[in-house]
Chains A and B, each alone.
Chain A
Amino acid sequence: MHARADTAASWPEEIFSILQRFEVRQVPYVPDAGHSQLIERVLGSSSMRGIALTTEEEGVALLAGAWAGGQRGVLLMQSSGVGNCINMLSLVQIFRLPFLTLVTMRGEWGEFNPWQVPMGSNTQGILELSGIKVLRASHPEEVREVVEAGAAQAYNACTPTAVLLSQRLIGAKVFTK
């Protein structure tokens, strides 16, 4: 187990480059510490629009509208947010969306907060039951190729895909008084 590092990791930058290459335009998100570097990058970008949501299911619906309007998007959320999306994930199958979500994981790998564990343990199962292919990156050096593969199959083959960014990769959140 390792705690979250204070220094900036390079993999969020690699994800940003991949999203640029795939011409992603709309990036809905509910903030998560594990996504903070990528969110900052998106908000500072001229080609992507970061869209803060009140709940993750809004992002699924937003991406359906974006696709109808000719734009690609990616939903950034934490594992607990996957639970908030369940019914709205119907749209992904119904519209055959080129759906891509990047999910930072909680409730695993050295978790401190037991409240994160039930949803974190069910995240992959819920996504798969909802018809979404799940890929996972656990080490910094594999993030680029996993996200690239996820983006390629989502956007080129309309195969809905979630990439789980493991807590082992992000580092467990440290709770101090």
Chain B
Amino acid sequence: MSQANLLDRRAVVSELLKDRKGAFAVGGLGASTYDIAAAGDHDRNFYLWGGMGGAVMIGLGLALAQPTLPVVVITGDGEMLMGVGSLATVGLQQPKNLSIIVLDNEAYGETGGQASHTGGPADLVGVAKACGIGDSRAISTMAEVEAFASSLQDVTAGPRFASAKIDGANLERVLSSRDGTYLVNRIRGSIGHTPI
């Protein structure tokens, strides 16, 4: 499945989070969560091991609660398709500090590589744009990834959406903590909230 002209998912995520400063990173169920873990554990990583289709909405709730901090949702095409209506909800709310990037391998990698709709006619960049996310782009080079990484720090110009076509190779899983209460309390702790 490895193709030379497609981006490497780990390189993309590592670039996105390299100089993240205070940003929160929400990872969709599946390989995106492993990619975020591979880039390095962080108090503000919101790893998802379930709730398929919910990554963008978790990002939206976080972004509305913390409007001065960048929030980046990093998810896959299958996860995004399951929650595709959430792009309309983001388009309506216009959170300026929310960025969404889909790592699009046109397949359900975690379940055996079955083809997803983005390998067919479904165009997520078109969907995002049509939902009112004005800054929606297709990414195909690392230079464009770098530009997206620096733009997500700007909490006055979002929401923004990108889809990066990535190599479909299944990489070694890098497993994050999967204790949800710990992860959420760790994020809350990082912004000064104590447990109840």
A residues with a Cβ closer than 8 A to B are 25-26, 49, 51-55, 57-71, 73, 87-88, 90-91, 94-96, 98, 156-158
**Cross-chain contact B88 with A54 (CB below 8 angstroms):** yes
* CB-based contact B61/A68 at 8 Å: yes
Q: Residues of B contacting A54 with CB < 8 Å?
A: 85-86, 88-89
Supposing A51-B89, A69-B65, A69-B191 touch, asked if A64 and B53 sit within 8 A by C-beta, the answer is no
**A66–B65 contact, CB under 8 A?**
yes
B66 near A62 with CB under 8 A, answer no
Would you list which residues of chain B between 158 and 187 have a CB under 8 Å from chain A? 180-181, 183-184, 187
Which of chain B's residues 75-94 have a Cβ closer than 8 Å to chain A? 83, 85-86, 88-89, 92-93
Residue from the list A64, A66, A156 in contact with B54, Cβ < 8 A: A64
B184 near A95 with CB under 8 A, answer yes
Q: A70-B193, A88-B51, A91-B54 are in contact. Are A64 and B61 (CB under 8 A)?
A: yes
B residues within 8 A CB of A96?
180-181, 184
Interface size class of chain B, counting residues whose CB lies under 8 Å from the partner chain? 35 or more
Q: In whole angstroms, how far apart are the Cα atoms of A26 and B65 in the complex?
A: 8
The complex places the Cα of A95 from the Cα of B89 at a distance, in Å, of: 23
- Alpha-carbon separation in the docked complex, A69 to B61 (Å): 7
Are the C-beta atoms of B181 and A94 separated by less than 8 Å? yes
Any chain A CB within 8 A of the CB of B138? no
Interchain CB contact under 8 A, B61 and A91:
no
Contact B193 A62 (CB under 8 A): no
Q: Quick check: B62 and A69 within 8 Å, CB to CB? A: yes
The 3 A-B pairs at the shortest CB distance, nearest first, are namely A65-B61, A69-B65, A54-B85
Best-buried of B24, B62, B66, B196 by chain A (most CB within 10 Å): B62
Task: Give 30 A-B contacts (CB < 8 Å), ordered by A residue.
Answer: A25-B65, A51-B89, A51-B93, A52-B89, A52-B92, A55-B85, A57-B53, A58-B83, A58-B85, A59-B57, A62-B57, A62-B58, A64-B51, A65-B46, A65-B58, A65-B64, A66-B61, A66-B62, A66-B64, A68-B58, A68-B62, A68-B65, A69-B63, A70-B65, A70-B191, A87-B50, A94-B180, A95-B180, A95-B181, A157-B196
A65 touches B59 (CB 8 A): yes
B54 A57 Cβ-Cβ under 8 A:
yes
Q: Report the nearest B residue to A25, measured CB to CB.
A: B65
Minimum distance in angstroms from A152 CB to a CB of chain B = 13
- Chain A CB within 8 A of B38 CB: no
Q: Are B196 and A69 in contact (CB under 8 A)?
A: no
The listed residue with most A CB atoms (<10 A of its CB), out of B83, B183, B184, is B184
Contact of A58 with B57 in the complex, beta carbons under 8 Å: yes
Q: State how many angstroms separate the Cβ of A18 from the closest Cβ of chain B.
A: 19
A111 to B140, CA, bound (A): 54
How far, in whole Å, are A157 and B24 apart by their CA atoms in the complex? 27
CB distance from B42 to the nearest CB of A (A): 14
Residues of B within 8 A of A49 (CB): 64
Query: Are A158 and B184 interface neighbours, CB within 8 A?
Result: no
Residues of B with C-beta under 8 A to A62: 57-58, 60-61
Chain B residues closer than 8 Å to A158, beta-carbon distance: 196
How far is A66 from B92 in the complex, measured between Cα atoms in Å? 17
A65 CB, nearest partner CB in chain B, Å? 3
Q: Is the CB of B62 within 8 A of A65?
A: yes
A91 to B184, CA, bound (A): 11
